[in-house]
Amino acid sequence: MIYLITGGERSGKSSYAQNLALQLSDSPMYVATARKWDPDFQNRIDRHQQERDERWTNIEKEKHLSEIDFSDKVALIDCVTLWLTNFFIDTKNDVSLSLEEAKAEFSKIAQQDATLIIVTNEIGMGIHAETHIGRKFTELQGWMNQFLASNADEVVLMVSGIPVKIKG
């Protein structure tokens, strides 16, 4: 089973996804995809870690999610935007290659017998990116979101903290 939780910044995606994971399992896995870019980002990571108690197994994996054994587990992957950023940076902003690599990683984990709860952002619904790189990343995010949604069993759009089921 694959759940995709999407929405804008601070729309309640992570909280909803964490509650869903705890409804589905007494011991879910949390997969953090963030790189520690700077002290401010480290503070954000620390805050997110403090929100989860001892029921969670925490794994940090920047790109190669297929190296994780998801078999028979409920896993929350948070988040696609940070995960894609890692591909985008490492490919020197090559949208096609980033998309190809991310799709390949997702396809490997989707084959495992697991329940995946994937958090992503709808960054194309906000302000038009000011830079060329920003616009390229917005395209990458949009195409990956479409791919993930087409493979998900259930898709929930978070709007102002309210879950709106759009597929499933």
User: What residues act catalytically?
Assistant: 48
Cβ burial of 94 (10 Å; 0-12, 13-18, 19+) is: middle
- The number of helix segments (H) and strand segments (E) in the chain equals 5, 7
Contact 70, 118 (CB under 8 A): no
Give every CB contact of residue 2 below 8 A, 6+ residues apart in sequence. 110, 115, 116, 118, 151, 152, 153, 154
Angle between helical axes of 80-90 and 95-110 (0-180°, round to 10): 130
Contact 57, 27 (CB under 8 A): yes
